[in-house]
Structure formats: C-alpha cells, structure tokens
Amino acid sequence: MGEICKAGLVGGGVIGGGWAARFLLNGIDVTVADPDPEAARKIGEVLANARRAQKKLTYTSNLKEGKLRIVTDIEEAVRDADFVQESLPEREELKIEVLARISRATAADVIIGSSTSGLLPSRLQSEMQNPERLVVGHPFNPVYLLPLVEVCGGDLTSQESKAGAAAIYESVGMKALILRREIDGFLADRLLEAVWRESLWLVNDGIATVEEIDDSFRYGAGLRFAFMGSFLTYRLAGGEAGMRHFMEQFGPALKLPWTKLEAPELTDDLIDKVVTQSEDQAAGISIRDYERKRDDCLVSILQGLRKNDFAAGAVLKDFETKLFGQSQGRVMSADDDLSQPFALLQTAVDPEWVDYNGHMTESRYLQVFGEASDAFYGYIGVNAEYLAAGNSYYTVETHIMHLREIHAGEPIEVRTQLLGQDPKRLRLFHVMTHSKDGTRLATAEQMMLHVDTKAQRACAALPEVLARVEAIAAAHAGLEQPSEAGRRIAEL
C-alpha cells in the first residue's frame, strides 16, 4: 500500500525541490511545474546535495533513480501523476486557485498533498473537485533527510485519503504524523513558533545574540530533543518518581514571568539587529556550504539513532530494511545459466570516491566488492526476511589486488565466482572490470561465515539458501581457478 510510480509536483523552491529529491531517490519519476527559468539549476543543486547525503545515510543507496522533468504548465505536471504535492508560497488565495486547477486535471482518486506550514485544509479544498482527497502534507527542511511529515485533513477530507497519503509518505522513508483535527499552524510549527517568539524577545531586549540562542539549543536541549522530545525528557527529569514529581517540582514555575509568548513588534530596528547578527554568525560561509554541513550533521545523528533502533533512527532502520529488499536484484531461478561467473553488480565511479591521486580510493574498492557480495547474497535468497529471522553471512577475510586505475564517472562491473563452500562458509572471488573495454581493474577474494545473528555464533545456512549455493558450486566446479586466488603479499 502507498507505492507510486509518478509524482506531480507544483512548485520547485526549497520545499518543492526537497520533495523532488525525496521521490527521485526512491525511484519515482517526478514532473515539477515551476515558471522560474532557474528552476532546473536550483532543483539540480538540491538534488546534488540529496544524492550526497543519501550515500552517507544508508548502506542501500544503489537503487535506480527516478526521471526528472521540469515544465511550466501545472496541468502538464499533474495530468498523469499517481500523487500530487503542491509547494507554493504561503498565500491562501493562490493555493485555493491552484489546488482547484490540479483537481480538475487529475483523476478523481489521486491524492493531493499541500506542503503548507499553517493554512487550514478546509479552506484550501473549498473550490476543488473531489475535495475529499486533499490533505496537508507538511514536511520539514531538508525534506530529503528529515522523516517527519504532518498529515492533516479538512472538513471534507476522507479517512481513506489521510491513510493513503500517510502510506505514500512512509513508502519513501518518512514518519507520517496524522493530526486528530485541523488547527492553525498544525502541531510542530506551533511549538516552534513559541520558541521563535521568545528568541526574538531575547534578541530585542539585548539578553542574547542570535548565535548565543542557537548555542543554547545545539549544545544542550536540542541534542535530547532529537530523540526524546519534551515530555519524555521531562519524565526522566522527574527521576524515579517520573512525570508527576517533575510537574509538582517545576509546575509552579509556569506561573512566573519567565517568558513573553506574545511576539515583539517586528520593527526595522529589530529586523536589522537580527539580520546583522545572523550575518556575523554565518561568517561568510555560503548557504550551499551550510546546507551540506547541516546534511552531514543530520546524517550522523540519524545513523547514531539507527544503531540504537530508536526514534527517527527506527524509521531509518525500517526503511533501510525495505531498501535492502528492493536492491537485491534478481534471485536465482531454475532457468538460470550457472556455468559462468555472475555479473550481478554494475555501477559507476562516484566523484566522491576519487582521492588526491585522481582515481578511486582503496576504501571504495572494498565498498564495491562488498556490494557485489550483497548482490550474491540476494541471488541465493538472503533477503530482508532471511535477515530479520536472524540469519546472515559475515565477511571474515578479504584480499584485494589493485590492477589498474579507474577514474570518476567511469562504468564498472563485478563478476563473481564461487570457489568453495560448505554449510557454514562461502569462498567468493570477484573480478572488477571496466564495463566498456573489459579491462581488469581489481580482484577480491573473500571468505564468508554464515551466522545466527541473535546467538552471535556460526551456524549452517538454511536449506533453501544452501541448496542454491550447492547448485552454483557444482556448476562452478569446472571453471578455471583465477591466478590471483590464494595469493598472499610477497615477502621482500
């Protein structure tokens, strides 16, 4: 449920570009409607950052990317879409008009999401055809990394549309939070606005600079909020007695005049102060450089949380399990020709893989050979269900020989031969070649051990996997042994 093939996006700004990247990197074709003559460049830069972050974020980032098309006509962008996401400026009259146009140009059952951060869906759907399929799908920047999306329906929105939208968002690795009822600003932005108002007062009154306020979050509460939020944090602050003790101890402080939740007047003086301090804080670093630094930090936090299978990390772990299943490629069938080494991995050298010598760095050779091993595992039936049941192969030894240089953008292929096996072990030999001319670039010999991941000990592969391994072993038994197999580093 929730899988789509084509997404129609209206608006290609910061949020629209982020949505484009989120969908494209999940293999979904995207058509974006945006009249900006610079739209292709802007979306391209967002997509470049998203690709960079995705490769750092997940171990299963080799899925085929969707196709991007940019048009100026709204109807052209949405006409054949399975799902539509509108991300126009926060002008209610504009959104009402455009959403009505979208509704007339799409099939009656196509769900339409609006990225509004505060406008009520009941008003946005007021002139639509089939208004029951409109939802607010409010994401957070950068859309391609942060998993949260608030799903909110209006008076006419059906429960099926809300559930369907949530399923679509979750199919591309997001956490859908369905609001119980519509309210101005929804949930997260109401909380963020309270912090923003108080922050402006602290700047206005000369209590702190914008940098000092940011530091108070990024070195303190913000780190906890990344995985616990406020209520769970305060529950722990109550000690063994929990939330009741915290409320009794700190509740009276709510009556004290600590905060000014009424926003200060945005005078020219206050705006100038905030802008000047923000420029000082940025210290000449460009927006794109800050975006990449932001992405790197978010990837690190998400990966750390994934290791603990907690909060946003649990969303990433579940999504990565799904991606692993999708990236397994073909599985062995009775009609396959097993007589030759398998070409299960084709890729190209990413520019980030190149070192100071101008060719692929040695760690990336290991990465590519590891992906070839993963492709072999998928071929013999080691899929997501197999892993979830507590079974896997672990690499215990690798010997790589580097034969030729390979440069950024060049296509490569890995062929895999099974040199030996028993119920607990695999001995694989990989040959990396240039896809165009067949030049041998590197070889890798690997020993894998089948393990019970829950008991953390070696065990025999399950019968269905072992049967495939034995069939391949019988077919490969007559192949010539590679000259590099069994080699060791020569003594000087």
List pLDDT tens digits, range 3-29. 899 999 999 999 999 999 999 999 999
**Residue 166: pLDDT band by 50, 70, 90 thresholds?**
very high
Residue 473 to residue 338: CA distance in whole angstroms: 9
With helix as H, strand as E and coil as C, how does 141-155 read? CCCCCCCEEEEEECC
Is the distance from CB of 26 to CB of 64 less than 8 angstroms?
Answer: no
> Tokens 């073909």 appear where?
330
**3-state SS assignment for residue 335:** coil
Average pLDDT estimate for 450-468? 95
* Predicted pLDDT of residue 223: 85
Q: Shortest CA distance to 330 belongs to which of 319, 318, 338, 320?
A: 338
Q: Shortest CA distance to 150 belongs to which of 111, 121, 179?
A: 179
Given phi > 0 = left and psi -120 to 50 = alpha, else beta, which region is 309? left
Better-predicted residue by pLDDT, 148 or 261: 148
Alpha helices per DSSP H over 217-329: 222-225, 229-237, 243-250, 268-282, 287-307, 312-326
Beta carbons within 8 Å of 181's beta carbon, 6+ residues apart: none
Name the helix (H) or strand (E) containing 10: strand 6-10
DSSP states along 463-477: HHHHHHHHHHHHHHT
* Predicted pLDDT of residue 320: 79
Mean pLDDT over each residue of the chain, to the nearest integer: 91
Domain 6-184 CATH class label: alpha beta
Residue 163 to residue 201: CA distance in whole angstroms: 40
Reported as a single tens digit per residue, the pLDDT across 181-223 is 999 999 999 999 999 999 999 999 999 999 999 999 988 888 8
Q: Shortest CA distance to 113 belongs to which of 168, 181, 31?
A: 168
Average pLDDT estimate for 395-413? 94
Distances (CA, A) of 373 to 306, 317, 333, 395: 23, 21, 18, 9
- Residues 49-63 as b/e (b if ≥16 CB within 10 A, e otherwise) read bbbbbbbebbebbbe
State yes or no: pLDDT of 341 exceeds 60.
yes
Q: What angle do CA 437, 443, 445 make, to 5 degrees?
A: 150
Eight-state DSSP code of residue 239 = G
CB-neighbour burial class of residue 230 (10 A; exposed 0-12, middle 13-18, buried 19+): exposed
Q: Shortest CA distance to 12 belongs to which of 88, 120, 90, 125?
A: 88
**Residue 59: pLDDT band by 50, 70, 90 thresholds?**
low
Better-predicted residue by pLDDT, 246 or 442: 442
- Superfamily the domain 328-476 falls into: Hotdog Thioesterase (3.10.129.10)
* Predicted pLDDT of residue 324: 67
* Predicted pLDDT of residue 38: 96
Distance, first Cα to last Cα, the chain: 61
Residue 236 to residue 250: CA distance in whole angstroms: 13
Residue 411 to residue 340: CA distance in whole angstroms: 21
* Predicted pLDDT of residue 128: 98
Share of the chain above pLDDT 90, in %: 65
* Domain spans, the chain: 6-184, 189-284, 328-476
**Residue 487: pLDDT band by 50, 70, 90 thresholds?**
confident
Average pLDDT estimate for 115-120? 95
* Predicted pLDDT of residue 61: 54
Name the helix (H) or strand (E) containing 8: strand 6-10
* Predicted pLDDT of residue 263: 73
With helix as H, strand as E and coil as C, how does 383-450 read? CHHHHHCCEEEEEEEEEEEECCCCCCCCEEEEEEEEEEEECCEEEEEEEEEECCCCCEEEEEEEEEEE
Name the most confidently modeled range: 60-74, 265-279, 422-436. Answer: 422-436
* Predicted pLDDT of residue 329: 64
Alpha helices per DSSP H over 80-136: 92-105, 121-124
Return the minimum-mean-pLDDT range out of 49-53, 175-179, 271-275. Answer: 271-275
> Tokens 């009822």 appear where?
181
Reported as a single tens digit per residue, the pLDDT across 218-274 is 888 888 888 888 888 888 888 888 888 777 887 787 777 777 778 778 789 988 887
Return the minimum-mean-pLDDT range out of 56-70, 80-94, 321-335, 424-438. Answer: 321-335
* Predicted pLDDT of residue 257: 77
- Pairing mode, strands 83-86 and 6-10: parallel
Q: Shortest CA distance to 271 belongs to which of 346, 322, 210?
A: 210
> Tokens 């999401």 appear where?
113
Residue 197 to residue 262: CA distance in whole angstroms: 7
* Predicted pLDDT of residue 407: 93
State yes or no: pLDDT of 327 exceeds 80.
no
Reported as a single tens digit per residue, the pLDDT across 368-392 is 999 999 999 999 999 888 998 999 9
Beta carbons within 8 Å of 183's beta carbon, 6+ residues apart: 190
Fold category of 189-284 in CATH: N-(1-d-carboxylethyl)-l-norvaline Dehydrogenase; domain 2 (1.10.1040)
Average pLDDT estimate for 286-299? 86
